[in-house]
Amino acid sequence: METEIPVPAPPIPVVDIQNLSVSYGHQTAVRNLSLTIPAGEVFGFIGPNGAGKTTTIKVLATLLKPTSGSVRVLGTNVMYSPQQVRRNIGYVPDSFGVYEDLTVAEYLSFFAAAYRIEWDNRAATVKDVLALTDLGNKVDAQVDSLSRGMKQRLGIARVLLHDPQLLLLDEPASGLDPRARIELRELLKELQRMGKTILVSSHILHELSQFCTRIGIIEAGQLVAEGSLMDIYRKLDLKRTVHVQISNLTPQMVEGIRRILGITSAEELADRVAIQVREDELAMEDLLDALRGLGARIRMFQPEAMDMETAFMKLTEGKVS
Amino acid sequence: MPKRKFLQRLHLDWPLLGKELREQSARKQMYVVRVIYAVVLFGAFCFYYMRHLAEGPVLVLGRGMGPFNFLVMAQLLTIYLFLPPLMAGALAQEKERDTLGLLFLTDLTPWELILQKFFGRLIPMLTLLFLSLPLLAVAYSLGGVSTAMLYSSAATLFLTCLWVGALALECSAHEATTFQALIRCWGICLLFAIFCSVGPFQFFMFSSRFLMRPTSGFFFAFPIFFNAVVFLVATFLFLARAKYNLETRAFIQRRNPFGHQFKRLDQYWKDLRKLIRAMSRTQDREARALAEQIIRREMGDKRNSSPGKFMLTEMQVPHLLAFAIIFGAILLIALVGSVMLNPKSGGAFNVAVGGLWILALLTVPIQGANTVASERINERLGAILTTPLTAREMLDEWLGPLQRWIQFLVRPLIVLFVVEGIVKLITQEQGEPAFENVILYLVVSLLTVWIYPKFAQWLCLLIGFRIRNQIRALMTSFLLVVAWCIIPIVLSDYLTETGLLPPDWGEWLRFISPVTVIDTAETIGRSVSANSHLALLIFANLGAVGAIAWMIRRNCLANADRYLGRI
């Protein structure tokens, strides 16, 4: 008698959006958007202003009713059990949403109580989130006196109080200075390490490219591209430029470089060679080996950052929904 | 089980209430308001005591009803004036600072949000009312006030707090901004006051009429019980409506409803003028083209309509005319009839004039201060200040809606003055007001509607310039104008009664208040002979107020750039 090996059920995605449409009167903000985000992923939601990012996030946050389609968070439909969904999400809106007359501790204690965290655990929970967001030394400061970066971190501290599995961050880096952006990025990386699933929206591509495991590009309420960065580059046939300084460069060597498989062009500049590479065909380390194989003595090897702007401009036309 | 855990399990551990009280305790103005209120209340009581009861220690015994009545009325007025501003921001402010969505995401249910917000704003109001307890004790100890009256007046005050608070919270949930919620609430309170000022409905507002009767038993208890039931039902209905509004109007867009309606009305009149022009000048091609444009805009492809037909069918002109004629005739009959029945009193004219002035008092100062404050709160100021517009052009633009609103209030007032003047002249008999008195009445009344609203507008604009916080600017403007109306009268009475000021000087002091001027103008219109002394005082007041208004206006226009933060 054969014993049946139980097939493990596929894990429930944290976010499952199917054919979501949202209309405000005659205007459609989101049309037929479908999206799935598995657990532990940091999903970057990119699009021009007015593309429908905030609307989608608000539907996930149970603050907006979808016109049609199904939206589930951890298998729970936002329309039928919004209260259950709220326990599993933490939403940071694009505005700070703070009470200026309270201190940081009072602000967090209020939300801890509003999320019905047990009285005995409240102080410890507040202390923990303050430590995580590096606001421990601001515990008695008036919320009004905090900088924009600190207010944003306070907003993240607030949503961590009830330990949700999904974080919805709407333009968290908007209006922050470079230092605050870096601090925020480090905080998000830390949250990612803690296993949180994060959906973060932005219209600035570069800031998401550094920690997002997957991105979705939305325009005029429709998802125009979705996948890992590499997938999108591949889809768009984007190339990466590598700047190489070779001390013994000869015209024959430049010709040899052009013949390497995966290289589309090699342009000789005054002090370097600019090589365009299809990364899906030729990895950076393989290119380095190939150059060494040609006898090149390499002084500098500098791949350019992925050209996210080009990808964005190729995929979008600046349309709003 | 610890007490707090037990409360938490029963959902009685109200975090939002705690937050509300903590936030308010962090605001200095709450303490300032309490101190000012206590000073005014105790001062007014001392004044009342000195004026009416200071004849001797024995003579005051058994005369506690007067001060008791005075205190209850003062507290009722305080509730109507101060509870709406206190409660109007409860939910509207959450909308303004984008925190309402965050509250929705917590485990608090809509009913919990509503009730905690309600009590969070009600408690400070009740603490304000508790300030009068020692004074009520003094009034009670003088004698003449029964224990039942004490309890029932406390119940009335508490119930009034409940329903006015619930109404203000409903407005707060309904509107997008605190300002709109406040105007809506005061507007409804004013309508309620007008409704209650006639016939059998009076006791809904001031049940103290019944409280003050030295009766007991069924005839004492029944109206109180009836009032309590009505107030409690009203409170519940307003709270239920607030909960409904909270869920359905949480994320409504901010817009200016007055501006929107005025624009629609403007468009209507413009279209009507163009259509009438096209009808009357059939040969004028330009006029016909303009009329056709309007018809095309409104009817799209269905263009087989002449200007006359369009006015009849689409613009509903006959209906409007019929309504205006019927409404105007009823109003005129009511106004004229009331004066004819009792020529010595102003009758319905006084009620209508008073109502319009109260509406102006409630709205003009607040809208004046809000002119700049709303630009600040919506963060539009920076963008506008960097345009080539001059400060004067900006002010013209911003003050436009307020000036329209003033026109909206002033025009009916002018019509009322003129009609009242004509009625008085027509119905004049021997011993009735002289012709020159009616003319004086008309001149003074027209000057008051020309000068006072302008003064309030520029004064409150200046306050809006100087005070950066919106609510503080609105409250300061409102309180300052209210103080201008009341304090000179109270102070004059007090100083004259106590002999600190000669009666002539007291009269001069009294005439600082616009209320005295408006009231005296009405008296002049009804008096037999002209009183040059009173006319002099009135013109002195109007001249001084006009001059100050002109100076403030000049100051605002000259320093607007600096006040707005532009070099």
Alpha helices in chain A (DSSP H): 53-60, 82-88, 104-114, 119-132, 148-160, 178-193, 205-209, 229-236, 251-258, 284-293, 308-315
Q: Closest residue of B to A92, CA-based?
A: B102
Shortest CB distance from A119 goes to which of B5, B18, B107? B5
- Strands (DSSP E) contained in A25-63 are 27-37, 42-46
User: How far does the CA of residue A84 sit from the closest CA of chain B (Å)?
Assistant: 9
Q: Which of A63, A98, A99 sits opposite B104 (nearest CB)?
A: A63
Predicted local distance difference test score (pLDDT) of residue B296? 80
Least confident range of A83-92, B222-231, B501-510: B222-231
- Averaged over B125-150, what is the pLDDT? 85
- Residue B359 in contact with residue B406, Cβ under 8 Å? no
Residue B441, pLDDT score: 84
Task: State the Rg of chain A over Cα.
Answer: 24
Do residue B107 and residue A118 have CB atoms under 8 angstroms apart?
no
Q: Strand pairing partners for A142?
A: A103
**ipTM of the complex model:** 0.75
CB distance B8–A106 less than 8 Å? no
Sheet holding A240-246, edge to edge: A263-268, A273-277, A240-246, A298-303
Tell me what pLDDT residue A14 has. 92
Distance from CA of A119 to the nearest CA of B (A): 7
CB–CB contact A97 B102 (8 Å):
yes
Is the CB of B10 inside 8 Å of chain A's CB atoms?
no
Q: Which residues in chain A are closer than 8 Å to B27, comparing Cβ atoms? A: 101
As beta bridge partners, residue A35 has A17
Q: Chain A contacts of B2, Cβ < 8 Å?
A: 119
Per the CB < 8 Å rule, is A63 touching B251? yes
From residue B294, alpha-carbon distances to B243, B267, B281, B287, B302 in Å are: 43, 10, 16, 11, 12
Find the radius of gyration of the CA atoms of chain B: 27
Would you state the pLDDT for residue A3?
61
Q: What is the pLDDT of residue B342?
A: 67
**Confidence bin at B459 (pLDDT 50/70/90):** very high
Cα A269 to chain centroid, rounded: 36
User: Do the beta carbons of residue B182 and residue B84 sit within 8 Å?
Assistant: yes
Chain B residue numbers with beta carbons less than 8 Å from the beta carbon of A115 are 106-107
* Amino acid letter for position A114: A
- Dihedral of alpha carbons A101, A103, A107, A112, sign: negative
Provide mean pLDDT across the span A218-226.
87
- Each residue's pLDDT tens digit, A108-117: 999 999 988 8
DSSP H or E segment with residue B194: helix B178-196
Give B248-294 as a DSSP string: HSTTPPP--HHHHHHHHHHHHHHHHHHHHHHHH-TT-HHHHHHHHHH
CB contact under 8 A, A63 and B22: no
Report how far apart, in Å, the C-alpha atoms of A127 and of each of A97, A139, B2, B350 are.
21, 9, 22, 64
Pick the range with the lowest mean pLDDT from A258-267, B148-157, B195-204: B195-204
Cα-Cα-Cα-Cα dihedral of A138, A141, A147, A148, to 10°?
90
Axis crossing angle, helix B65-96 with helix B178-196, rounded to the nearest 10: 150
For residue A258, the one-letter residue type is R
Asked if B23 is an interface residue toward chain A (Cβ–Cβ < 8 A), one would say yes
Q: Predicted confidence band at A83 (pLDDT cuts at 50, 70, 90)? A: confident
Measured in angstroms, the CA of A3 and the nearest CA of chain B are apart by: 47
B379-400 pLDDT per residue, tens: 677 777 777 788 888 888 888 8
Q: How many CB atoms lie within 10 A of CB A106?
A: 21
Split at pLDDT 50, 70, 90, the class of A49 is confident
Distance between CA atoms of residues B188 and B171, nearest Å? 10
The confidence band for B258, taking pLDDT boundaries of 50, 70 and 90, is: low
* Residue B109: Cβ within 10 Å count: 12
Mean pLDDT (chain B) is 81
pLDDT score at A144: 84
With a pLDDT cut of 90, the percent of chain B lying above it is 20
Domains of chain B by residue range: 2-255, 259-315, 332-564
% pLDDT > 70, chain B: 84
Length of chain A: 321
Q: How confident is the model at residue B208 (pLDDT cuts 50, 70, 90)?
A: very low
| pLDDT at residue B210, rounded to an integer | 47
| The amino acid at B95 | K
What DSSP element (H or E) covers B208? helix B208-211
With 0-12 / 13-18 / 19 or more C-beta atoms within 10 angstroms meaning exposed / middle / buried, residue A208 is buried
pTM value > 0.95: no
Q: Which residue has the higher pLDDT, B501 or B465?
A: B465
Secondary structure of B92-143 in the HEC alphabet? HHHHHCCCHHHHHCCCCCHHHHHHHHHHHHHHHHHHHHHCCHHHHHHHHHHC
Asked if A89's CB is within 8 angstroms of B8's CB, the reply is no
Best of A57, A78, A104, A110 to substitute, by most chain B Cβ atoms within 10 angstroms, is: A110
Name the residue type at position B550.
Answer: W
**Chain B residues with beta carbon closer than 8 angstroms to that of A83:** 107
B135: tokens are 């004074």
Q: How far is A85 from chain B (nearest CA, A)?
A: 9
Cβ atoms < 10 Å from Cβ of A316: 18
Minimal Cα distance from B98: which residue of A?
A97
Judged against a pLDDT cut of 90, whether residue B311 lies above it is answered with: no
For range B83-110, the mean pLDDT: 90
User: What is the DSSP secondary-structure string of B213-235?
Assistant: S---THHHHHHHHHHHHHHHHHH
Q: What angle do CA A188, A192, A194 make, to 5 degrees?
A: 115
Q: Give the best-scoring range by mean pLDDT among B313-317, B407-411, B458-462.
A: B458-462
Query: CA-based angle A187:A192:A194, to the nearest 5?
Result: 95
Closest CA to A202 of A19, A37, A43: A43
User: Are the Cβ atoms of B105 and A119 closer than 8 angstroms?
Assistant: no
* Nearest C-alpha neighbor of B524 from the set B416, B423, B444: B444
- Residue A135 pLDDT more than 80? yes
CB contact under 8 A, A91 and B15: no
Contact between chains at A99 and B98 (C-beta distance less than 8 A) = no
Coil vs helix vs strand at A197? strand
The model's confidence at residue B530, banded by pLDDT at 50, 70 and 90, is low
Query: How does pLDDT run across B4-19, given as a tens digit for each residue?
Result: 556 656 666 789 999 9
How many Å from the N-terminal Cα to the C-terminal Cα in chain B?
64
Per the DSSP assignment, residues forming a β-bridge with A226 are A216
Mean pLDDT of B182-209: 67
Please identify among residues 452-481 of chain B the ones whose CB lies closer than 8 Å to any CB of chain A. Answer: none
Q: Does B246 touch chain A (CB under 8 A)?
A: no
| CB of B561 closer than 8 Å to CB of B391 | yes
Contact residues, chain A to chain B, C-beta under 8 Å: 58, 61-64, 83, 86-87, 89, 91, 93, 95-99, 101-102, 106, 110-111, 113-116, 118-120, 158
Residue B361 tokens, joined? 């008092």
Nearest CA distance, A267 vs chain B (angstrom): 47
